[in-house]
Structure 1
Amino acid sequence: MNYLSAENLAKSFGDKWLFRNVTFGMSRGDKVAIVGANGTGKSTLLSILSGQMPPDEGIVSIRKDISVGFLDQQPELDNSLSVIEVVLTGDNPALTAIRQYEKALLSDNPDALDRAMQQMDTLQAWDYETQMKQILGQLGIHDVAQPVSTLSGGQRKRVAMAQVLIENPDLLIMDEPTNHLDLETIEWLENYLSTNNSTLLLVSHDRYFLDRVCNQIVELDQQTLFSYKGNYAYFLEKKAERQAVFAAEVDKAKNLFRRELDWMRRQPKARGTKAQYRVDAFEEVKDKAHQRLNNDQLELNIRTQRLGSKIIELENVSKRFGDNVLLDHFTYTFRRNDRIGVIGKNGMGKTTLLNMITGELRPDSGKVVTGGTVKIGYYTQSDLVIPDNQRVIDVVQEVAEVIKLGTGETVTISQFLQHFLFDRAKQYDYVHKLSGGEKRRLQLLLVLVQNPNFLILDEPTNDLDITTLNVLEEFLLNFPGCILLVSHDRYFMDRLVDHTFVFEGNGKVADFPGNYTDYRERKASQPADRKPAEKPKAISPASVPESKPVSGTETKRKLSFKEQREYEALEKEIEELEQRKSRLLDQLNSGDGNHEDLTAWAREIEQIDQQISEKSDRWLELADYI
């Protein structure tokens, strides 16, 4: 059964076409995701398909007897209403019955209440009300009497999501549904949508979410839609094949174009004296040969200042707002190459911790000590605040005129912007013309051009396209400094962090030795009635891996998960170093090589001996706890 169809859609802004001649269709049960680079028009296409915006060309048809729900990326809610009034504004008959019942409860009219209860019975709305409360609870909406005008942006998104989910439409259209949700809520939403019978159309950059929820991926690229029947992993495989075929076709067209161009030049200039069919074919080959291959990549290779021995020390830091305790005597000493993920429900204090580390917020007690060599780069959730009349290149040049790369090479701001996929035309666009994702990319660039050696990233994946995320991950994997990361993107978190701060509530924070998936698997394997004392310990000086028992009577501790992995890796590393040393000794004893070779081999042997000594000492230290 066909639910939605679109034929020959086109949309432009000014002289720029986002897409043209786009044809698209959905049937009952389809769960489709639209992906693509920032600025290609994904959100615009979603708005057109949902009827929120008219196309410049083409038509959209939606089956008349189905209901449609739309969740905007930045929903607009009536500030004069309360949360419950917004949630119950749908046209669903069950919602109408619930509204009448809630109204009758507040009245002194027994007859009205009786009629409302009968209507609830007739429509089986009691189950509907139970489901409504469950959805509100899972989305963290507890104060349903709260005025909408007092909600934050993230809370407004949750209320809008609750509204469309409670309506339970036949066709559900959602723009970036996982933004502003904590990890547990995302997993609940993922399970809800994957098991729900509704037909789904969404835009999202959450790769785990796409892989587990969707059965069709549609990519918007070069003003055209490419459809793939399968989940996100299948899409990646088939997209790579498509790009390889396309590159081969363009390369073939370029070779043919050179031959045909030579023919065109050698023939008489008057077009009428040439074979017209060959002239027409030449124009087609010319267009094909000049198609642009999408080989742009972000080369985020920034020179950073070396960190000293003292980085950042948090000593018994506490913070509360009223009766809400966010941090209670939190202690941690950052070390070189720390890569820490921060997880926990919204409102537990994750951003508060980041703000205290950067000095934007003072702790109620305790202290934050920052080393003299530390240069913090802080990427926040706040939107980029820039005057509308500023151009992209001017914004960056206010921070730096040139950029020094890790290779020692110096590049201009214009060259660096191109690495961030801002072509020369886009560099001179006004900032207000950028898409949400392009503004986020610019904001990230402004942090990195300052050459930080301690990166603090608060939800950096919001609004970034998947291509940008992939390259950002590669940069962060090779980043030589410390990283402190808050993100709801589980794939992003899993690739980058080696241990996590888990906000458990009431100011308690646990240091878990592993990434997010490690934490979830460990948590799932624990018995439901496990005692609190057996949970991961709150961070304290004794939880730092190098620490040892403070007294001889204390029970001998065991290796943490992270230390066990380090212990196993050291065995392999020492063995490899020994093998390398043996090969070098054989080369020295063979008599081959000139004087420079012999000197280089001897120097490398000396370095390997030093490494073996250091790693052996650490291996013996860890072996004491086996």
Structure 2
Amino acid sequence: MNYLSAENLAKAYGDRTLFRNINFGISRGDKIAIVGANGSGKTSLLEILAGAAPPDQGLVSVRKDITVGYLNQQPDLNEALTILEEVLAGESAQLDAVRAYEKALANEGDHDALEKAMNQMEKLEAWDYEAQIRQILGELGIQDVEQRVGTLSGGQRKRVALARVLIQNPDLLILDEPTNHLDLEAIEYLESFLNTNNGTLLMVSHDRYFLDRVCNQIVEMDAGQLYGYKGNYAYFLEKKAERIAIDAAEFEKNKNTYRRELEWMRRQPKARGTKAKYREDAFEDLEGKVKNRRNDGELDLNLRVSRLGSKILEVENLSKRFGDKILLDHFTYTFKRQDRVGLIGKNGMGKTTLLNMLIGELRPDSGKITAGGTVSFGYYTQNELNIADNQRVIDVVQEVAEVMKLADGQTITASQLLHHFLFDRQKQYDFVAKLSGGEKRRLQLLLVLVQNPNFLILDEPTNDLDITTLNVLEEFLLNFPGCVIIVTHDRYFMDRLVDHVFVLEGQGKVRDYPGNYTDYREWRDAQPKKNAITKESASASHKLTPVNLSAEKPAASSQKKKLSFKEQREYEALESEIETLEQRKAEVIDALNGGGHHEQLTAWAREIEEIEALVAAKTDRWLELAEHI
């Protein structure tokens, strides 16, 4: 069943054409990711497909009987509402029923309206909707649902907007960089949610683990055209390599043909009528293919790094708290040469606070930080560039240095360096305002590295960077002779680069775990877990409860009905059955996270959904029987 189709789409900004004659379709059950270089037009295409922006040319058709949910990079929220009110303000039949029920409750005398609202709630199974909302918000790191939207940070707003679109459960879900601003646990929750959801998904993401585990199709935007691949991200990489090899062979063939045809054109008389017109037309077409072939270039990070002395950075008994919240409690560590540390913790645990204290931008409550005399920090922050929009890109770099030294001792101009960072000459003279989000982040990375740091602190460096840039940045950091601290939600990036992790566990405790993030997660998941039934029981307390409309109905007996022998045996068996199902679910999720063929991934996702339905039914029965013990 076709959900969405796009025909002959075109989009340009000024004299810059992003794409033209794009044709695209989404069918029910597709889970598609769009990938491509920064500035290639991925977000613009997503906006057009979601109906948030018009194309310059072409048409987008959406099936009339489906619902569409869209998460953009800069969500528009009502700052006057609380988080819960903002999420409830979304569009879905269940949310309409909840709002109608709450309105009927406010009008105490209108029993007909209340009964109608209750019937609709029952029909749509909307009684536990608020509990679902609280659960999704909690998994995404939002606990205080009464907090006003206007007081939230940009990352918190993105998570609220994500929760709002997830709770609507649309037929077609369109997400632009959904993992940005999520901590690692929240990303794993979202990954599981999308894997067990039978809906249809279209998204833009640079998270390679996420792409591999969630998507069954990859669409690459390259030079204004789309190239589709049926399979996950690993399959896409394999087939893309084949396409590049074919393109290269075709280009060499065209060059050889072009040389022969050019010689023919030069030998013939100048009078156009004496030449074969069809051959002239073919020559012009061939000339366009040869001369206009795009050169991707290659990001080059071969910059000089200043040497580190024997003393690097010593942290002794570091403590920090804000009000009653303890972020660090007597943390001690001595950094060694080529230390590669990943910093892990839920949002709000104090990761950025620790980084700011290490570089001296924030004072600790107690403790001491001592840096060696040769240490030169390079701090890549989450904050956007503090640069005027009317400043040209090349002027921004020349303010730092007009000439830089490379690792091999050669010098390079600001313009040449920008070219290595994939800013062509035209882009170098663009105003900062015209750069895409990823291009701004690439420029920010350049400004950090040109200062020749030997101790890099990278706070979410992967946000908005395309996969090509990430691969080159990884190679640079693998060979970086200094120290590196990395905070990132990109599990692939962290797994490749760190050799141990600092885990902020709460109450000021920091665990130094040897290994990368996946090593730590496997160790963490092997630890004893709390009983799942206790969690289910707790969540049940948040459910909306229907009121008793009729005062004439007999009240429930105050005496509890005792369990029969058969019911007692059933009650005892349910605990074991639920535990077995939870164990099987964990096994399937581990298998799913390990990747595989898209058909196998789909089968596992379907099994997880079936297990969750069984657990929910058995838990409800367990709770029902438990009331009579």
Structure 1 length as normaliser, TM-score?
A: 0.83
Inter-partner Cα distance in structure 2 for 1:229 and 1:210: 13
1:210-221 alignment runs, 5 A limit: 210-221=211-222
User: 1:3-62 deviations in whole A, cap 9, x for unaligned?
Assistant: 000000000000110000000001000000000000010000000000000000110000
Is contact 1:33–1:216 with CA below 8 Å preserved after alignment? yes
Is contact 1:251–1:289 with CA below 8 Å preserved after alignment? no
Inter-partner Cα distance in structure 2 for 1:141 and 1:403: 45
Specify which structure has the bigger relative contact order, considering alpha-carbon pairs within 8 angstroms and separated by 6 or more residues: 2
1:77-476 alignment runs, 5 A limit: 77-104=77-104, 109=109, 111=111, 115-476=116-477
Single out whichever of 126-135 and 231-240 deviates more from structure 2.
Answer: 126-135
Matched residue, 1:484: 485
> 1:37 aligned to 2:50?
no
Inter-partner Cα distance in structure 1 for 2:74 and 2:226: 24
* Secondary structure at the counterpart of residue 43 of structure 2: helix
Matched residue, 1:506: 507
User: 1:127-182 deviations in whole A, cap 9, x for unaligned?
Assistant: 43433232122112222221111111011001101110000000000000000000
> 1:516 aligned to 2:517?
yes
User: 1:564-604 deviations in whole A, cap 9, x for unaligned?
Assistant: xxxxxxxxxxxxxxxxxxxxxxxxxxxxxxxxxxxxxxxxx
Inter-partner Cα distance in structure 1 for 2:192 and 2:4: 24
Unaligned runs of 5+ in 2: 532-629
Is contact 2:317–2:331 with CA below 8 Å preserved after alignment? yes
Inter-partner Cα distance in structure 2 for 1:49 and 1:425: 29
Is contact 2:134–2:145 with CA below 8 Å preserved after alignment? no
* Secondary structure at the counterpart of residue 35 of structure 1: strand
Single out whichever of 168-177 and 78-87 deviates more from structure 2.
Answer: 78-87
Deviation at 1:254, TM superposition (A): 0.8
Inter-partner Cα distance in structure 2 for 1:91 and 1:191: 23
Single out whichever of 490-499 and 273-282 deviates more from structure 2.
Answer: 273-282
Single out whichever of 288-297 and 33-42 deviates more from structure 2.
Answer: 288-297
* Secondary structure at the counterpart of residue 259 of structure 1: helix
Identity %: 72
Q: Which amino acid aligns with 1:412?
A: T
Is contact 1:39–1:438 with CA below 8 Å preserved after alignment? yes
Deviation at 1:397, TM superposition (A): 0.7
Is contact 1:219–1:225 with CA below 8 Å preserved after alignment? yes
Matched residue, 2:61: 61
Deviation at 1:110, TM superposition (A): 7.7
Q: Which amino acid aligns with 2:527?
A: Q
> 1:19 aligned to 2:13?
no
Inter-partner Cα distance in structure 2 for 1:221 and 1:510: 43
* Secondary structure at the counterpart of residue 76 of structure 1: coil
Query: Aligned residues, how many?
Result: 530
* Secondary structure at the counterpart of residue 125 of structure 1: coil
* Secondary structure at the counterpart of residue 404 of structure 2: strand
Is contact 2:223–2:294 with CA below 8 Å preserved after alignment? no
Inter-partner Cα distance in structure 1 for 2:199 and 2:263: 58
Inter-partner Cα distance in structure 2 for 1:114 and 1:366: 63
Deviation at 1:105, TM superposition (A): 5.2
Matched residue, 1:73: 73
Deviation at 1:473, TM superposition (A): 0.4
* Secondary structure at the counterpart of residue 385 of structure 2: coil
Matched residue, 2:566: none
Deviation at 1:107, TM superposition (A): 6.1
Matched residue, 1:555: none
Is contact 2:141–2:346 with CA below 8 Å preserved after alignment? no
* Secondary structure at the counterpart of residue 398 of structure 1: helix
Inter-partner Cα distance in structure 1 for 2:321 and 2:162: 30
Shift of the 209–136 alpha-carbon distance from structure 1 to 2, 3 Å rule, reads same
User: 1:518-569 deviations in whole A, cap 9, x for unaligned?
Assistant: 1111112223379xxxxxxxxxxxxxxxxxxxxxxxxxxxxxxxxxxxxxxx
Deviation at 1:413, TM superposition (A): 0.9
Is contact 1:250–1:291 with CA below 8 Å preserved after alignment? no
Inter-partner Cα distance in structure 1 for 2:106 and 2:373: 63
User: 1:100-130 deviations in whole A, cap 9, x for unaligned?
Assistant: 3344556655836555434322321124343
User: 1:312-363 deviations in whole A, cap 9, x for unaligned?
Assistant: 1111010011111100101011110000000110000000000000111000
Matched residue, 2:605: none
Unaligned runs of 5+ in 1: 531-626
* Secondary structure at the counterpart of residue 511 of structure 1: strand
Q: Which amino acid aligns with 2:224?
A: Q
Inter-partner Cα distance in structure 1 for 2:104 and 2:331: 50
Inter-partner Cα distance in structure 2 for 1:390 and 1:90: 39
* Secondary structure at the counterpart of residue 150 of structure 2: helix
Inter-partner Cα distance in structure 2 for 1:116 and 1:3: 31
Inter-partner Cα distance in structure 2 for 1:105 and 1:472: 57
User: 1:70-104 deviations in whole A, cap 9, x for unaligned?
Assistant: 00111111112221121112231211121233445
Inter-partner Cα distance in structure 2 for 1:480 and 1:110: 74
